């Protein structure tokens, strides 16, 4: 019945279920074809096309609360707490693959018996088998949500578009914060712009064959996050954690975007962007690359202690950069929100982040206070009489042998709420980049800060750096390698042609 209705309409509408397909506007044909293919494979009970309205978001969150996946935090305005299955708390790098015809197109081919440290390749035939083991019927009994979204300001020449299908309402709520959705995006898709096809499933069809942990659907044994750069596709299975399920983030904005950028002549980088103004009123924009959980958000929202200096935030995680027709490197933040690591964030380390997350925020795997707030390591102790519940939902007391918040617990908040958001953060042409910094966690063995000799040396330094593993990855060890916590800081030329090293 569902597929028949889709075929008759030639598309799907804004808010649809089996009985209401005929009463809603159709999607653009290319999007409808993608959705029809996903419906045929995943067999959902219903389909809902996300419009991004406040009323829709409120309904999504109310449904999550009813299912026990999130809890409203009465201490704040429209803030929510989610607790995941303890097996689904971070990106799973060992199960994240790039699928290309040739291995050399993904990673340098390692010596026999050596595992590459630069990524994981999967052959097309192995991936097809893996897909057939996971996706057929995976959304049975659940609603498939269709999320048309924009990475970057709608209309910018640097912006790219995507459509994600998912059976996770938590993903819908989070993507509504992290990306731009709604009518402007649908209009662009109707104009025929290219889009990345993103398919995600929690891998827990209904009825359940085993009980959930923390009411959090996931399938840890079958997790696979796959990227097909040749066809601009992302397919993610088994995880509801943001880095694996919000496919506009690392999957699109870095992995697929880096391939699009290579083909089109620009850069997709794991970098914050900030504007810094000196006491004389001269403003420069800086991009800076650090691994996750190494301080990008704190640097992007720095509160200077030097009199007369001012820092403003464009983005805290990802930068898309391209030379304009004058040869000037320009960058946009393709995201619409902050997906930051909570532990260590406080009024002392990042007062602007604390102000940003005071409303309209989804918290994941942080501690909870008895007065309806959140808590994590790094915050001041709660007031007298206020008790704590840890990220497992158990009573917790200071001095306990376990942590109250998971080390990779997160906040997901709109970037527009940041008190120091840069006036040009949504500039369609991007902001002009004057310097690039590389850094990471390395407590010993290298200088704290150093400058490259020139652009070629800077590229070498950045490419050779390594950092300790953090809680943002599945690894528990403290991996170290060449390079370390250093920096490359070099002012760019106004014109690319003036400097062959640029």
Strand segments (E) across 208-299: 224-228, 233-237, 267-269, 271-277, 283-289
Active site residue 292: yes
Considering 250, 259, 328, 442, which one is annotated as catalytic? 250
Considering 79, 138, 218, 294, which one is annotated as catalytic? 294
Rounded CA separation 252/259 (Å): 10
Sheet holding 267-269, edge to edge: 267-269, 319-323, 329-332, 431-438, 283-289, 271-277, 310-315
Asked if residues 143 and 156 have their Cβ atoms less than 8 Å apart, the reply is: no
Active site residue 410: yes
Task: Specify which residues 411 forms β-bridges with.
Answer: 340, 363
Active site residue 495: no
DSSP assignment, residue 89?
Answer: S
Tokens (6 digits) for 220: 């840890």
Instruction: Kindly give the pairing relationship between strand 329-332 and strand 319-323.
Output: antiparallel
Q: How far is CA 364 from the centre of its chain?
A: 14
Active site residue 317: yes
Rounded CA separation 53/79 (Å): 17
| Cis peptide, bond prior to residue 207, ω within 30 of zero | yes
Considering 226, 258, 292, 409, which one is annotated as catalytic? 292
Residues 6+ apart with CB under 8 A from 114: none
Rounded CA separation 30/189 (Å): 9
Tokens (6 digits) for 412: 């997901």
Tokens (6 digits) for 355: 């102000």
Active site residue 250: yes
SS (H, E, C) 311-364: EEEEECCCEEEEECCCCCEEEECCCCEEEEECCCCCCCCCHHHHHHCCECCEEE
Task: Specify which residues 216 forms β-bridges with.
Answer: 213
Considering 85, 317, 422, 434, which one is annotated as catalytic? 317
Considering 270, 457, 496, 502, which one is annotated as catalytic? 270
Q: How far is CA 341 from the centre of its chain?
A: 12
Active site residue 91: yes
Determine whether 76 is exposed, middle or buried from the number of CB atoms within 10 Å of its CB (0-12, 13-18, 19+): middle
Rounded CA separation 236/246 (Å): 9
Considering 9, 43, 48, 91, which one is annotated as catalytic? 91
Rounded CA separation 74/110 (Å): 53
Instruction: Kindly give the pairing relationship between strand 143-151 and strand 46-49.
Output: parallel
Considering 48, 83, 328, 410, which one is annotated as catalytic? 410
Rounded CA separation 487/450 (Å): 5
Considering 241, 296, 352, 406, which one is annotated as catalytic? 241
Active site residues: 91, 241, 250, 270, 292, 294, 317, 410
């Amino acid at each position: 019945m569902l597929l028949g209705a889709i075929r008759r309409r030639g598309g799907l509408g804004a808010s649809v279920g089996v009985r209401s397909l005929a009463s809603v506007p159709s999607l653009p044909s290319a999007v409808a074809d993608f959705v029809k293919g996903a419906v045929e494979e995943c067999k959902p009970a219903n389909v809902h096309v996300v419009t991004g309205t406040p009323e829709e978001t409120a309904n999504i969150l109310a449904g999550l609360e009813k299912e026990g996946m999130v809890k409203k935090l009465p201490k704040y305005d429209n803030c929510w707490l989610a607790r995941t299955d303890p097996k689904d708390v971070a990106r799973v790098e060992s199960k994240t693959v790039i699928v290309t015809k040739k291995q050399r197109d993904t990673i340098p081919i390692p010596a026999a018996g050596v595992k590459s440290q630069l990524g994981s390749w999967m052959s097309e035939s192995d991936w097809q088998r893996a897909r057939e083991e996971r996706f057929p019927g995976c959304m049975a009994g659940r609603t498939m949500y269709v999320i048309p979204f924009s990475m970057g300001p709608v209309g910018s020449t640097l912006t790219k578009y995507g459509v994600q299908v998912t059976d996770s309402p938590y993903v819908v709520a989070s993507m509504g914060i992290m990306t731009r959705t709604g009518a402007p995006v649908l209009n662009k898709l109707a104009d025929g712009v290219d889009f990345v096809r993103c398919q995600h499933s929690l891998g827990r069809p209904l009825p359940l064959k085993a009980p959930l942990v923390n009411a959090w659907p996931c399938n840890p044994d079958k997790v696979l996050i796959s990227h097909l750069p040749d066809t601009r596709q992302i397919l993610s299975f088994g995880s509801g954690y943001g880095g694996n399920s919000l496919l506009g983030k690392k999957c699109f904005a870095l992995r697929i975007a880096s391939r699009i950028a290579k083909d089109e002549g620009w850069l997709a980088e794991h970098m914050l962007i900030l504007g810094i103004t000196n006491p004389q009123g001269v403003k420069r924009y800086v991009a800076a690359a650090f691994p996750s959980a190494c301080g990008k958000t704190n640097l992007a929202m720095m509160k200077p202690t030097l009199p007369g200096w001012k820092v403003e935030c464009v983005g805290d995680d990802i930068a898309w950069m391209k030379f304009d027709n004058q040869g000037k490197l320009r960058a946009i933040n393709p995201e619409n929100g902050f997906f930051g690591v909570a532990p260590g964030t406080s009024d002392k380390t990042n007062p602007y982040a604390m102000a940003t997350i005071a409303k309209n925020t989804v918290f994941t795997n942080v501690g909870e206070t008895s007065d309806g707030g959140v808590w994590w390591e790094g915050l001041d102790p709660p007031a007298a009489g206020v008790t704590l519940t840890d990220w497992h939902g158990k009573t917790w007391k200071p001095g306990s042998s376990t942590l109250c918040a998971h080390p990779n617990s997160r906040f997901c908040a709109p970037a527009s709420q940041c008190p120091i958001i840069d006036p040009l953060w949504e500039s369609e042409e991007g902001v002009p980049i004057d310097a690039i910094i590389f850094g990471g966690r390395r407590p010993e063995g290298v200088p704290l800060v150093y400058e490259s000799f020139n652009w070629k040396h800077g590229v070498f330094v950045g490419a050779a750096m390594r950092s300790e593993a953090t809680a943002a990855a599945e690894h528990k060890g403290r991996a170290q390698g060449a390079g370390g916590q250093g920096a490359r800081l070099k002012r760019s030329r106004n014109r690319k042609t003036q400097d062959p090293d640029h």
